[in-house]
Each structure stands twice: as structure tokens, then as C-alpha cells.
Amino acid sequence: MKDVFGQILLDAARGDEAVHTIEREDGLAGQYPGSQYLDPVENWVEAERDAISRARGRVLDIGCGAGRVAIYLQEMGHEVVGIDISRGAIEASHMRGFGQAYCMSAEELDFPKGTFDTVIMFGGNFGILGDEDKTVKLLRNLHKVTSDAAFILASSRDVTETDKPEHLAYHEMNRKRGRPVGQIRVRLSYKGESTEWFDIWFASPEEMAEISESAGWKLIDTYGPRNSFVGVLSKI
């Protein structure tokens, strides 16, 4: 399968506009520049800008993309390892000066116990695996590969913080199908190629707290508004 996301990042890293389409399964679609995945810290959303100060020690960046967060942390003096399932993303990271980026699925973490002090899951990556069960498994695995006083900085959103009819209709469709309201099915299209449909799960602060506790983590703080927040998770 063609690495559509990776091609977007590679083109953006080369200075192209890399405008691509993100389409929801109900037909709602928008066009976005690839440069958003390379944004410097001053262009990050409020919650990420504020929460990044909590990073300490050795950092794991899950879904690192083209190194947006990792490169900033490197500049702040942190040792950072990034993983992404997209080979193009890894190549783009290397092009931009982030050498410790590796092609690895978040479902198959391959690190020794206690390796990391901070885990970053920005860009909505708390639900990067698409559903609650996979997220719980990921959190349990992160418990093993982090130090005793580790933090996870995880971004998500409460999708119910909207009054737009098209979003409310999608939420109702999810309820009727027995799916979580925040489980969104999308695909990316770029230069005539499209990804397969895939799910992203956006957990509310309450949902994040509940499932994190089941996996050995406690939500101790949040940054930003509910519709775009970062949760700080600490080991129980």
C-alpha cells in the first residue's frame, strides 16, 4: 500500500505546499497544507505549547511524523527517540535532522523496561490506534518501558464540544452503530492516491482518565480547552 502520509511529509520537508485532503466517512472533507506537520513550537496549539514544559529526561515520541515535536525537544537538550509506522515520515525526520526516528508500530513497542521518562502523544495521538481496547494495551506497554516517575503527555479532544450540525449528525450515527462518539473514520488523499479508511479515537478528559487508570496511569493535570487538550498521565 502506498505511503500517502509519508509522501505528504516528504514533500513538505522539501518545501512543497503538500496540500492534501482529509475526508471523514460521511463525506465531510477539507484540504490542509503539509506544513502543519512541521510547525515550529510557536504555531502549536495552546495545550501542546504549555504542556511540553513537563517533558523531562529521555523522551519517546509516538507517531513522530516529520519530527515536529522531537526536533524541538532535541534543541531543548533532551534525548529523544521517535517512532512512526510511516517509512516516509521516518525519512522526512532524518532529512530534517532527527536521526533517532524508527519505523515501528505503537502496537509493537520494542524497548527495554524503564527506558523512557516522558512519552509524547501529540497531534491527537492518544487514540492513534483507533479504539479503546488498543489504547489500553498501548498504555500498559508504555507502563513497562518507562521509568517509575514517568509522565505521558497525550493530546485528544472532546468531540461533543461543538454545535455544528454535521458533527452532531456524525455523533448520532456513531451512537446508532454502537461506536464511541469520538471514534472517527477518515482517509487521506494526495496526488491521486488515498489511504485505506482508518479510525482515530478522540477521548474526552473523563474517558482518558478512566481508561488510563485501568492501565496503571492517573490523569493528574490537563492543559487547554476540552476541544483540544493535553492530558498529563502519571504512574499509579
Instruction: Give the CATH number, domain containing residue 205.
Output: 3.40.50.150
173-226 confidence digits (pLDDT tens): 999 999 999 999 999 999 999 999 999 999 999 999 999 999 999 999 999 999
Task: Flag whether pLDDT at 58 surpasses 70.
Answer: yes
Give the span between the Cα atoms of 50 and 125, in whole angstroms.
17
Q: Kindly state the average pLDDT of the residues 15-34.
A: 98
Residues in the chain: 236
Burial classification of residue 113, based on how many CB atoms lie within 10 Å of its CB (0-12 exposed, 13-18 middle, 19 or more buried): exposed
Q: What pLDDT, on a 0 to 100 scale, did the predictor assign at position 2?
A: 87
What is the pTM (predicted TM-score) of this model?
0.96
- Count of domains observed in the chain: 1
**Is there a contact between 199 and 185 (Cβ–Cβ < 8 Å)?**
yes
Phi/psi for 233 (5° steps) reads -110, 135
Residue 29 has pLDDT above 90, yes or no: yes
Domain encompassing residue 161:
4-235
Residue in the block written with cell 479532544: 157
**CA 123, CA 204: separation in Å to the nearest integer?**
15
Work out the percent of the chain whose per-residue pLDDT is above 90.
Answer: 99
Q: What is the pLDDT of residues 155-184, one digit of tens each?
A: 999 999 999 999 999 999 999 999 999 999
Nearest of 51, 24, 49, 18 to residue 36 by alpha carbon: 18
pLDDT single digits (tens) 89-143: 999 999 999 999 999 999 999 999 999 999 999 999 999 999 999 999 999 999 9
- Element (H or E) spanning 193, and its range? strand 193-194
- For residue 25 the three cell numbers come to 466517512
For residues 23-34, give the mean pLDDT. Answer: 98
The answer to whether 50 touches 56, Cβ cutoff 8 Å, is no
Contact at 8 Å (CB) between 190 and 18?
A: yes
- pLDDT over 80 (residue 1): no
Residue-level pLDDT at 15: 96
* Stretch 35-47: mean pLDDT: 97
